[in-house]
Amino acid sequence: MDTDTIEAFFTENTTLNFYRLIQECLTNIVKHAKAKSVTVFIQKEGNDIISLISDKGKGFNVTESKNKNSLGLKTIFKRIKIMKGKLSMDSKINNGTSFIFSIPIKNEQ
């Protein structure tokens, strides 16, 4: 785990959504990934907060999960949209999953 102090860069609403986004990612790892390790990286880069959450778990088929309208992924996408952020997701069966998201700072909502 490697995190910068970021609270000053977000509004109260964005702070809550960001916390819940991280929480949802970690909850999904605990429930589904059977991961032996997890990496959490949060850093300010320019006008964005960049976050990486990566596990060494069992992975999943991203397209299939999107098509199934998975509640966990739906919640993640919704929070990213609320914060006007960007999301990159990669998952490989038996090789883990990575979420990288970028959230603009001082995002007034």
Domains and their CATH numbers in the chain = 12-104 (3.30.565.10)
More confident residue, 75 or 2: 75
Single-letter amino acid code for the residue at 25: C
Cβ atoms of residues 55 and 38 within 8 Å:
yes
User: Which amino acid type is present at position 18?
Assistant: F
- Would you say residue 109 has pLDDT above 80? no
Reported as a single tens digit per residue, the pLDDT across 25-55 is 999 999 999 998 999 999 999 999 999 999 9
The two structure tokens encoding residue 58: 């069992």
Query: Which are the contacts of 54, defined by CB distance < 8 A and separation ≥ 6?
Result: 38, 39, 96, 97, 98, 99
- pLDDT band per the 50, 70, 90 thresholds, residue 66: confident
- Residue listed under structure tokens 């299939």: 64
The reported pTM is 0.86
